[in-house]
């Protein structure tokens, strides 16, 4: 497709973002974009290094007269969340993202856009390629697999960065400067199941939940959006207690850091109860739409009769799955007592899957307080224990402790006020950022996180506000000039 950004400024930044959209770069599949960046750095004649996991650092010397300025690192991640609408045919391993302009926004056709964090990558590239910008020594760090495990940040060696100042370009709100973030951990529960033949006299009903906003399980968790998994198991619980249904298949959500937008199941019900169940589905649909009329206007719970499948999940395992998923906490658990309006602790019921003879529930916990993070992980684990699931929690990642006295924070605030003529909001973010790991690996590293405005990240509703990109670019340049 033709580049839709040819008239936008800054020209080089948008050109690089368009090129990034053409390169498949899902999490854990970043080989092509890593090669692209390495070639980019070498073509410019700049020092370019990479490590065994795929992290890339490109260093550019200071412009004349700025040699005595401190070295500044700029950082973004090269992977993207790969989500699409169920009715869209798209192969993220080979198809190019199809961006388009819709009024004041850039969107993608039926998929995530990848502005998180492709716009950060493009900003670094434009800076590295520039010949008319004044700056001290800079090094651009591009990390892999931020979205599904912070693999790049975890593997980063202490000799990869020389700078003592870092600008993280992975935030999503113009007018806000971030100085801290939550830590997180995943807790996954599994239980084995057997299959049985479908009894005679049963009808098969497909239940589908769709039309939800979804979004980032950190940034959007406080917006009271519906979770498709929770809606689906709520209905299954009710129907099981009313009619004694059997479960044939279930699939809901995808990524641990995304609020589930879609979920579906195939259930079997006695022929005599099929009509009543279909009517119950209509009633549940009306109830859910009324409950979520503000946050998720498009939500739908639909039920229809389909061909009877050959098998169902054994009754005991299905009941345990439904009970565990229904009881599983989801959403905001606690608000901060220190920062007004800031989410302290949350948990996300991310996905429900059938994998290799197991029923798998994936959850993700976040908190800015380590003990609170451990507490919510234990709460989730207790639900798994009560339901007969085996579970495990990952090592997680640390939070980034806010430093109100940060020198780079002071510079950033001053430059923002000069450009925008109002005070920025300085705060911590409930989402996880790689800065938490950087603070461990590079003691004394002074950091802020900034970015243009992105809405709907981690969902096909992702969109990038065009006007904020040029202002963000100028903001970055102002910081580099003033540091």
| 376 Rama class: left (phi>0) / alpha (psi -120 to 50) / beta | alpha
Question: How far is residue 174's CA from residue 161's CA, in Å, rounded to a whole number?
Answer: 27
Token pair in block for residue 208: 């589908």
CA 139/CA 163 separation, integer angstroms: 8
Calculate the alpha carbon distances from 208 to 48, 285, 313 in Å. Answer: 49, 10, 18
Bridge partners of residue 367, in order along the sequence: 183, 345
Q: Nearest-CA neighbor of 106 among 116, 95, 94?
A: 116
> What is the rounded CA–CA span in Å between residue 456 and residue 102?
15
* Residues 123/452, Cβ–Cβ less than 8 Å: no
Q: How buried is 201 (Cβ within 10 angstroms: 0-12 exposed, 13-18 middle, 19+ buried)?
A: exposed
- Our CA angle for 29, 150, 337, nearest 5°, is 145
Q: Is 146 a catalytic residue?
A: yes
Nearest to 81 by CA among 459, 463, 452, 465: 459
Residue 67: DSSP 8-state: T
Instruction: For residue 77, give the nearest of 220, 253, 222, 257 by alpha carbon.
Output: 257
- Determine the straight-line distance between the first and last CA of the chain, rounded to whole angstroms: 40
Q: Which of 146, 170, 220, 462 is catalytic?
A: 146
DSSP string, 315-364: HHHHHHHHHHHHHS--EEEEE-SSSTT-EEEEEEEEEEEEETTEEEEEEE
In the three-class reduction of DSSP (H, G, I as helix; E, B as strand; rest coil), residue 418 is classed as helix
Residues 135, 139, 140, 145, CA torsion sign: negative
Establish whether 30 is a catalytic residue. no
Given the residues 30, 79, 116, 465, select the one marked as catalytic.
79
Residue 232 tokens read as: 């689906």
Lookup result for tokens 């999503």: 172
- In whole angstroms, give the CA distance from residue 232 to residue 435: 36
- Enzyme catalytic residues: 79, 146
């Amino acid at each position: 497709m033709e580049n839709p950004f040819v008239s936008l400024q800054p020209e080089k930044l948008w050109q690089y973002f368009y090129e990034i959209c053409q390169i498949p770069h899902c999490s854990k599949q970043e080989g092509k974009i890593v090669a692209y960046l390495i070639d980019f750095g070498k073509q410019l004649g700049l020092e370019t290094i990479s490590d065994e996991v795929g992290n890339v650092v490109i260093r550019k010397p200071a412009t004349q007269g700025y040699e005595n300025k401190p070295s500044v690192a700029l950082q973004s991640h090269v992977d993207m969340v790969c989500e699409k609408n169920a009715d869209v045919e798209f192969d993220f391993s080979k198809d190019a993202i199809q961006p388009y302009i819709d009024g004041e926004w850039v969107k993608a056709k039926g998929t995530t856009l990848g502005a998180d964090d492709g716009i950060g990558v493009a900003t670094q590239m434009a800076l590295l390629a520039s010949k008319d910008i004044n700056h001290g020594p800079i090094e651009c760090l591009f990390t892999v697999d931020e979205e599904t495990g912070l693999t790049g940040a975890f593997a980063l060696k202490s000799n990869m960065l020389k700078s003592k100042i870092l600008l993280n370009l992975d935030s999503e709100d113009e007018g806000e400067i971030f100085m801290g973030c939550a830590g997180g951990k995943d807790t996954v529960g599994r239980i084995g199941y057997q299959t049985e033949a479908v009894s005679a006299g049963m009808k098969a009903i497909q239940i589908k939940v769709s039309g939800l906003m979804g979004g980032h399980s950190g940034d959007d968790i406080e917006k009271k959006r519906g979770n498709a998994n929770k809606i689906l198991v709520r209905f299954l619980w009710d129907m099981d207690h009313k009619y004694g249904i059997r479960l044939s298949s279930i699939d809901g959500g995808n990524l641990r850091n995304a609020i589930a937008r879609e979920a579906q199941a195939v259930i079997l019900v006695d022929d005599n109860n099929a009509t009543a169940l279909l009517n119950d589905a209509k009633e549940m649909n009306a109830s859910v739409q009324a409950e979520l009329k503000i946050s998720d206007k498009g939500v739908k719970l639909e039920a229809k009769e389909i061909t009877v499948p050959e098998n169902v999940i054994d009754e005991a395992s299905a009941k345990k799955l439904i009970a565990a998923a229904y009881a599983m906490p989801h959403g905001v658990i606690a608000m901060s007592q220190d920062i007004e309006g800031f989410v302290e602790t949350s948990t996300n019921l991310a996905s429900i899957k059938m994998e290799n003879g197991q029923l798998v529930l994936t959850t993700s916990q976040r908190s800015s307080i380590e003990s609170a993070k451990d507490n919510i992980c234990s709460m989730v684990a207790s639900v798994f224990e009560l339901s007969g699931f085996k579970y495990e929690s990952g090592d997680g990642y640390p939070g980034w402790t806010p430093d109100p006295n940060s020198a780079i924070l002071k510079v950033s605030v001053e430059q923002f006020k000069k450009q925008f003529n109002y005070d920025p909001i300085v705060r911590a973010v409930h989402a996880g950022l790689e800065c938490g790991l950087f603070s461990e690996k590079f003691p004394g590293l002074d950091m802020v996180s900034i970015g243009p405005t992105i809405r709907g990240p981690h969902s096909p509703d992702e969109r990038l506000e065009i006007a904020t990109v040029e202002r963000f670019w100028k903001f970055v340049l102002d910081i580099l000039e003033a540091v």
